[in-house]
A and B are shown apart, each in its own frame.
Chain A
Amino acid sequence: MIKVEHLTKQYGSHTAIDDVSFQVQKGEVLGLLGPNGAGKTTTMRILSGFFPATRGTALLAGFDVFDQPLEVKRRVGYLPENPPLYGELTVDTYLRFVATIKGVGRGRLQSCLGKAKERCSLEEEGERLIKHLSKGYRQRVGLAQALIHEPEILILDEPTSGLDPRQIIEVRELIRNLAGDHTVILSTHILPEVSRTCERIVIINNGRIVAVDTPEKLTAQLSGGQWIQLEVQGRAEELPALLEAIPQVKSVSVEQVETNHHSVSVETQGVEDIRNLIARKVIDAGMDLFQLSAQSMTLEDVFVELTTEEKEVGEEVSA
């Protein structure tokens, strides 16, 4: 549905994005993740047709953004970082205006308006002036204007910024519901957002793509294992040797909490879950198992690792 190849944008000598390529399948939700200033907004502005790239091509819904901008714009809904609202219009007037310039016919106008308002929970706000709305409602109106012409592709630049936690959950829910019918690209610098809403993530830093994958795989690939925490009771002297006999175990450390009570951390390698093997070993050794929990390396760790040691990890990922 979206095919981006070697996209580069330069402002004078400053390179905002450099050789960015990725693809998005129909109905997929792709997350563009990166620190502020990484080039997310630039990428989205190019895709939405706001300005062209210095080099490279972008195909949306089968049309080239540069050669057939009007065809692309008809099929794309775009929510910029700051929702583009006219304070002195009412929500209804504003949405009608957007629908018209996005090419919604007179006959479909009312139903499109109703649907967009319903999806963004704006049914009660139709007659209110946009300038009197709270930040959360403005963001919803912004979302509604992106949705109003039922575009095949949605480009959302930080759709949850400025919302309170409950609204954030609602918007994520909304985006998940949109997937399938719509292809969605969203950008964010908030990690839980991508792991909860996106099927695939593009991590971008300093204008370059440093990783592309599903949230789960990205985490697994980079951590390459798990941390398993155990709490056991009994004599723990032989425990490290016993556990290290399991091939996936990388290291074991034992710490005495109380007499006879130990806290054990086990580092494993590979994606395989070996909690069951560990539990069996502990029981077989005649000890009591109080707690056993696994911790994957979180996306947060991956992100920090990728965006701080960009080069190293970049090589690791491509290798």
Chain B
Amino acid sequence: MRNYWAIVQKELHTLFVSPIAYVVLAAFFLVTGFYFFFYLSGVLDYLMQQALQAQQFGGNPPPFDAPGMVMQGFFGILSFVLLLLLPMVTMGSFAEEKKLGTIELLLTSPVTHLQLILGKFSALVVFLSVMLIPTILNTVLLFYFSEPAPPLAPMLLGYLGAFLLGGALLAFGLFFSSLTENQIVSVVVTFCVFMILWVIDFAAGTASTLPNETLRYLSVLKHYEDFTRGVLDSQHLVFYFSMIFLGLFLTSVSLDSIRWRK
């Protein structure tokens, strides 16, 4: 357990002294903040029109879930930005250790692969929290100014989905980072794979044939969408937890390969 904490601490230290961390955070807040504003003003314009129409033709404007609309748009862009930015957070995790030779220190210390991988993964999840938690401010604003207060579930589940999606992406990023000692290779491979995961979503379409169903099941974003709609389905939880497990397991195999590689 002390090994695990020591590794978490060291990882957080190296993550947060790197300028990449701040570039990623700045880009993330900028883009998500802009889109939140964009969606919010779009919805407000629409509401204004509705109100004007209602005034002209008499009667009440139809009920409209404005906060829900804004949050769905916001969570949609959130997932896309995570796909773009998380490879940059994970690229150094193992690649840099290999390049510096510090992997020799880690692998010749009485630390198990489990402690090492979970330590690194936990630090990455902490970083993900630093990205996501400040955006809760947006939600708070929506709650504060909405009449009547919007339902809580879609928001909470949206964040749960964002964390699970982010976790799965981080686990795979960790794996790709462990394959190479070059951060650029690591980030490019991770990025390409994430792009494929994104495209799968479109390829799957809406048809209900077996291949389409399968593709749809594999799409990391499809599972996420239900969360943002406020639906908690155990199949999505199973999907994300298995993705995280798979990513970390592959990382462990990759570390082990140093032992049996010819």
Contact = CB atoms under 8 A, between A and B. Distances in A.
Interface stretch (A72-80, A240-248, A286-294): A72-80
Interface in A213-268: none
A15 to B, nearest CB: 12
Interface string A107-118: 000000000000
A102 interface: yes
Interface of A: 10-12, 45, 48-52, 70-71, 73-74, 76, 78, 80-89, 93, 97-98, 100-103, 106, 145
A50 B7 contact: no
Contacts of B110: 70-71, 73-74, 101-103
Given A48-B108, A51-B258, A73-B108, A80 B101 contact: yes
B14 A11 contact: no
B100, B104, B260, B261, most chain A CB atoms within 10 A? B104
By secondary structure, the B interface counts as helix
25 contacts: A11-B262, A12-B262, A45-B104, A48-B104, A48-B108, A49-B108, A50-B108, A51-B258, A52-B259, A73-B110, A78-B104, A78-B108, A80-B101, A84-B100, A84-B102, A84-B104, A84-B105, A85-B102, A87-B100, A88-B13, A89-B13, A97-B6, A98-B109, A101-B110, A103-B110
A82 B101 contact: yes
Contacts of A73: 108-110
B18 A88 contact: yes
Interface residues of B, number: 28
A51 B102 contact: no
B247 to A, nearest CB: 23
Scoring A12, A89, A102, A145 by chain B CB atoms within 10 A of each residue's CB, the highest score goes to A102
Contact of B101 (A52, A84, A88, A98): A84
A97 B6 CA distance: 6
A50 B14 contact: no
Contacts of B17: 88
A88 B100 contact: no
B240 to A, nearest CB: 30
Contacts of B182: none
B111 A101 contact: yes
Given A85-B100, A86-B14, A98 B105 contact: yes
Nearest to B16: A88
Contact of B10 (A49, A76, A86): A86
Nearest to A48: B108
Contact of A97 (B10, B101, B258, B261): B10
A103 to B, nearest CB: 5
B101 A102 contact: no
A101 B109 contact: yes
Nearest to A145: B105
Nearest to A102: B109
A101 B2 CA distance: 8
A76 B105 CA distance: 11
B198 to A, nearest CB: 33
Nearest to A94: B10
Interface in B96-140: 100-112
Count chain A CB atoms within 10 A of each CB in B3, B10, B17 and give the residue with the most: B10
Nearest to B5: A100
Nearest to A47: B108
A51 B259 CA distance: 5
Contact of A101 (B6, B13, B101, B258): B6
A184 to B, nearest CB: 16
